[in-house]
Amino acid sequence: MDFKTDFKPLTVQPQEIEGKSFEMITEELGEHPFTDRQYPVVQRVIHASADFELGRSMVFHPDAIEAGIKAIRAGQPLVADVQMIQAGVSKDRLKRFGMDVNVYISDPDVMEEAKRLNTTRAIISMRKAIRQAEGGIYAIGNAPTALLELIRLVKSGEAKPGLIIGMPVGFVSAAESKDELRKLDIPFITNIGRKGGSTIVVAAVNALSLMAAREE
């Protein structure tokens, strides 16, 4: 079909577009180091970014996929660092499992505490999150400081997330925060380098919730 001369493709359904995209991704990616369980997450991340380099840079803790699916089936909460993730995840599907999606970064008590301690709202939002969402999935796509604080809380024994999806994007501390995450021996999904972001984290969450739904 030629988009330059007519608009027939406009009647194509989103499901068809997604199926065709996924075929193209598998074909272009070729050989890769991911297991059959990890690949659906990588595929959806590439779908959301059109970035094979980013997809190839992903790293999974060996228990990550099963831990994520388990947390979803148990209806554990999803904690996100920013509202964009909350807006992007398939909330209807998560709700069917009883999952809430929580973002604390704009809560008045978080803003007040951050000001008082002269630190970032992202950091304080993680301190609030671990009191309210133990065992949940932590999805961080924006704030390296949130991920670094969560790692600190895991190391100190204060936090026990079911899964950390840590893929903040950026030039200051983003890559370093992910280097730290990869050293933890708890379930994580991350990537190497500066790239990442809310749409990437949303893709990973949606891939996991789809796996959880399909395997019921």
Stretch of residues binding its own copies (CB under 8 A), selected from 32-40, 58-66, 70-78, 119-127 = 119-127
On the 0-12 / 13-18 / 19+ scale of CB atoms within 10 A, 120 is: middle
172 lies in the site for its own copies, by CB under 8 A? yes
Stretch of residues binding its own copies (CB under 8 A), selected from 66-74, 93-101, 120-128, 204-212 = 120-128
Stretch of residues binding its own copies (CB under 8 A), selected from 14-22, 68-76, 132-140, 205-213 = 14-22
38 lies in the site for its own copies, by CB under 8 A? no
Cα-based distances in Å from 55 to 26, 33, 84: 11, 11, 21
Contact criterion met (CB below 8 Å) for 152 and 4: no
Taking Cα atoms as reference points, which of 168, 120, 170, 131 lies closest to residue 153? 131
**Annotated active-site positions, please?**
47
Q: Which of 145, 190, 206, 209 binds its own copies (CB under 8 A)?
A: 145
Cα-based distances in Å from 70 to 11, 116, 137, 211: 38, 38, 10, 11
Kindly state the DSSP code that residue 76 receives in the 8-state scheme.
P
88 lies in the site for its own copies, by CB under 8 A? yes
Q: Which of 196, 205, 207, 212 binds its own copies (CB under 8 A)?
A: 196
Taking Cα atoms as reference points, which of 150, 153, 152 lies closest to residue 167? 150
Q: Which is nearer to its own copies, 102 or 120 (CB)?
A: 120
Q: Which is nearer to its own copies, 174 or 204 (CB)?
A: 174
Cα angle: 93, vertex 195, 88; to 5 degrees: 20
Torsions phi, psi for 200 (to 5 deg): -70, -45
102 lies in the site for its own copies, by CB under 8 A? no
Binding site for its own copies (CB under 8 A): 3-4, 7, 9-14, 17, 20-21, 24-25, 47-51, 82-84, 86-88, 118-120, 122-123, 145, 148-149, 152, 169-174, 176-177, 179-180, 193-199, 202
